[in-house]
């Protein structure tokens, strides 16, 4: 099974409601879709969103990195030589993690098809069912409370609440949501780098003293502020999770050495794909540190790949934040991964099991 061509397309899906964080507001998912074709007739799929404020990647950079740099290196390569292909992808260009991730997942899709097994079985097996949280966008307090109760009605038992806009209002937002959902759902906070270290400690102490019990707080400070992250971790009871501070294995090792975080958030768009995600999970497992697997605002192709990783590494990936497809108005992709609000399941089909993509606009 040798690679004969790599084609690109765009897939746009409207959201049910606007996605708002401390960094941005978005109304739809817009993914670059990668189609890797082979001489055996098998096709592998991958995808990547533009997340300029986090990864630095935009649609144009993803497309050009794949088209002009990664694709020429992969044509003619044998899918059976997986590790060699991964080295070619990762060594082809600096950074450009989303482009690398999209191509990598398509290659892994084909590798699993080669052995006629679902990807998660190739990665180590597991129970093909997980449960995700749902993101509650930052908004007026009443709207956030209403959105939280609506999520519970849909069957979600964990909510990831976006904060980081205004420290005083953030505290009131969380208190109001907690009062409305206590005993019905767990709350995770995500400040998206919106606080300073001292603000984070102040806010979390205020919430803890008010009896608010949070499952975790995610990336309260700027990505580069590892000392700030450590400052918070040492001073609050709430577990602190590193997201934008932890892209690849090297950053994770540094965070562990510094004891700067309690949990690591793995995202394929940060790691550059599945291979480094697995390395991070293995590193964290060795140090008895839990991981979450998350996603950017992206559709079901790339999230499906993350689902397979989550199932295969469920011993260390104990928290799931793969709600991208649940935020979309509909899912145009037919695959072996079924997104049913909080419940995500994998059927027994080779690779990612993608058989159709409606509305895909192929790029010239």
Q: For residue 2, what is the DSSP state?
A: B
- Dihedral sign of CA atoms 343, 268, 263, 191 in order: negative
Q: What is the pLDDT of residues 220-234, one digit of tens each?
A: 999 999 999 999 999
C-beta atoms surrounding 69 within 10 Å: 14
Q: Looking at the predicted structure, is the pLDDT value of residue 349 above 80? A: yes
Confirm or deny that 323 is annotated as ligand binding.
Answer: yes
Q: What is the pLDDT of residue 24?
A: 79
Contact 62, 98 (CB under 8 A): yes
Please say if 267 is a catalytic residue.
Answer: yes
Q: What is the pLDDT of residue 83?
A: 98
Residue 325 sits at φ, ψ, to 5 deg, of -60, -30
Average pLDDT over residues 306-325: 98
Who contacts 256 (Cβ-Cβ below 8 Å, separation ≥6)? 283, 284, 287, 289
Contact 308, 346 (CB under 8 A): yes
Q: For residue 134, what is the DSSP state?
A: E
Contact 314, 127 (CB under 8 A): yes
Q: What is the pLDDT of residue 150?
A: 97
Q: Looking at the predicted structure, is the pLDDT value of residue 22 above 80? A: no
Q: What is the pLDDT of residue 21?
A: 83
Average pLDDT over residues 132-148: 96
Please say if 162 is a catalytic residue.
Answer: yes
Confirm or deny that 135 is annotated as ligand binding.
Answer: yes
Mean pLDDT of the chain: 97
Q: Mind giving me the DSSP string for 294-352?
A: E--S--HHHHHHHHHHHHHTTTTEEEEE--HHHHBS---EE-SEEEETTEEEE-S-SBT
Q: What is the pLDDT of residues 69-122, one digit of tens each?
A: 999 999 999 999 999 999 999 999 999 999 999 999 999 999 999 999 999 999
Average pLDDT over residues 176-184: 98
Q: Mind giving me the DSSP string for 67-95?
A: IIIIHHHHTT-BTT-HHHHHHHHHTSSSS
Strand partners, 130: 344
Confidence of residue 211 (pLDDT cuts 50, 70, 90): very high
Number of residues that this document lists for the chain: 364
Confirm or deny that 160 is annotated as ligand binding.
Answer: yes
Contact 286, 115 (CB under 8 A): no
Confirm or deny that 328 is annotated as ligand binding.
Answer: no
Q: Looking at the predicted structure, is the pLDDT value of residue 23 above 80? A: no
Confirm or deny that 5 is annotated as ligand binding.
Answer: no
Who contacts 128 (Cβ-Cβ below 8 Å, separation ≥6)? 118, 120, 311, 345, 346, 347, 348
pTM comes to 0.97
Q: What is the pLDDT of residues 35-44, one digit of tens each?
A: 999 999 999 9
Q: What is the pLDDT of residues 3-20, one digit of tens each?
A: 999 999 999 999 998 888
Confirm or deny that 132 is annotated as ligand binding.
Answer: no
Q: What is the pLDDT of residue 328?
A: 97
Which residue in 20, 230, 267, 319 is the catalytic one?
267
Q: What is the pLDDT of residues 25-35, one digit of tens each?
A: 899 999 999 99
Domains and CATH numbers, the chain: 3-117+357-362 (3.30.390.10), 121-356 (3.20.20.120)
Q: Looking at the predicted structure, is the pLDDT value of residue 283 above 90? A: yes
Q: What is the pLDDT of residue 179?
A: 98
Average pLDDT over residues 294-316: 98
Which residue in 100, 162, 230, 313 is the catalytic one?
162
Average pLDDT over residues 182-192: 97
Confirm or deny that 24 is annotated as ligand binding.
Answer: yes
Confidence of residue 246 (pLDDT cuts 50, 70, 90): very high
Residue 247 sits at φ, ψ, to 5 deg, of -85, -55
């Amino acid at each position: 099974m040798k690679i004969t061509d790599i084609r690109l397309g765009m897939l746009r899906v409207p959201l049910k409601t606007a996605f708002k964080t401390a960094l941005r507001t978005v109304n739809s998912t817009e993914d670059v879709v990668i189609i890797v074709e082979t001489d055996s007739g098998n096709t592998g799929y991958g995808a990547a969103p533009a997340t300029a404020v986090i990864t630095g990647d935009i649609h144009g950079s993803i497309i050009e990195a794949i088209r002009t740099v990664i694709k020429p290196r992969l044509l003619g390569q044998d899918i059976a030589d997986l590790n060699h292909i991964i080295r070619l992808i990762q060594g082809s260009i600096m950074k450009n993690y989303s482009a690398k991730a999209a191509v990598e997942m398509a290659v892994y899709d084909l590798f699993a098809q080669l052995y006629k097994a679902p990807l998660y079985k190739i990665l180590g097996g597991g129970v093909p069912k997980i449960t995700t949280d749902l993101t509650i966008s930052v908004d007026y307090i009443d709207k956030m409370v209403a959105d939280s109760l609506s999520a519970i009605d849909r069957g979600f038992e964990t909510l990831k609440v976006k904060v980081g806009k205004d420290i005083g209002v953030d505290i009131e937002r969380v208190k109001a949501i907690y009062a409305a959902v206590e005993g019905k759902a767990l709350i995770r906070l995500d400040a998206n780098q919106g606080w300073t270290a001292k603000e984070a400690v102040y806010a979390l102490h205020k919430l803890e003293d008010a009896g608010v019990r949070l499952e975790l707080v995610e990336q309260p400070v700027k990505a580069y502020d590892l000392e700030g992250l450590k400052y918070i971790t040492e001073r609050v009871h709430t577990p602190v999770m590193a997201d934008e501070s932890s892209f690849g294995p090297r950053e994770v090792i540094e965070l562990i050495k510094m004891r700067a975080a309690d949990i690591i958030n793995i995202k394929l768009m940060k790691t550059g794909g599945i291979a480094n995600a697995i390395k991070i999970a293995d590193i964290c497992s060795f140090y008895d540190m839990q991981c979450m697997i998350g996603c950017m605002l992206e559709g079901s192709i790339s999230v499906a790949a993350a689902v397979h990783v989550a199932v295969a590494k469920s011993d260390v990936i104990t928290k799931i934040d793969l709600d991208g497809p649940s935020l979309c108005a509909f899912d145009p992709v037919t695959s072996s991964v079924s997104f049913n609000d909080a419940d995500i399941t994998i059927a027994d089909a080779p690779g990612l099991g993608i058989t159709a993509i409606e509305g895909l606009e192929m790029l010239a």
